Amino acid sequence: MAKALIIVDVQNDFCEGGSLAVEGGADLASEISELISESRDFDFIVATQDWHIDPGSHFSDTPDFRTSWPVHCVAGSKGAALHRNLDTEDIDAYFRKGKYHAGYSGFDGLLAPEDEVMVGEREAHEPADPEAAGADVSLDDWLRENDVDDVVVVGLATDFCVRATALDAINAGYGTTVLRDYVAGVDADASEEALQELAEAGVEVK
Question: Is residue 84 within 8 Å of 37, Cβ to Cβ?
Answer: no
Distances (CA, A) of 19 to 41, 68, 76, 121, 152: 34, 13, 15, 16, 27
In the chain, the amino acid numbered 124 is A
* pLDDT for residue 1: 85
Q: Which of 9, 50, 87, 159 is catalytic?
A: 9
> Do 107 and 174 meet the contact criterion of CB atoms below 8 Å apart?
no
Q: Round to whole Å and give the CA distance between 53 and 64.
A: 20
Structural domain boundaries, residue 101? 2-205
181 is catalytic: no
Question: The CATH number of the domain where 96 resides is what?
Answer: 3.40.50.850
pLDDT at 163: 98
Catalytic residue among 140, 159, 161, 168: 161
Q: Is the peptide bond before 112 cis (omega within 30 degrees of 0)?
A: no
Residue partners of 108: CB distance under 8 A and separation at least 6: 97, 98, 101, 138
Q: Residues 73, 97, 140, 150: which is the catalytic one?
A: 97
Query: Looking at residue 119, what is its pLDDT?
Result: 65
- Count how many domains the chain has: 1
Q: Which pLDDT value is given to residue 56?
A: 95
Within 8 A by CB and 6+ apart from 176, the residues are 150, 151, 152, 153, 166, 169, 170, 202, 203, 204
Q: Has 15 been annotated as catalytic?
A: no
How far is it, in rounded angstroms, from Cα 128 to Cα 38? 35
CA distances (Å), origin 134, targets 7, 10, 76, 139: 19, 22, 17, 11
The residues that bridge with 82 in the sheet, in sequence order, are 11, 119
Determine the pLDDT at residue 131: 47
What residues of the chain score a pLDDT lower than 50? 122-134
Question: Do 146 and 4 touch, CB atoms closer than 8 A?
Answer: yes
Q: Provide the whole-model pTM.
A: 0.92
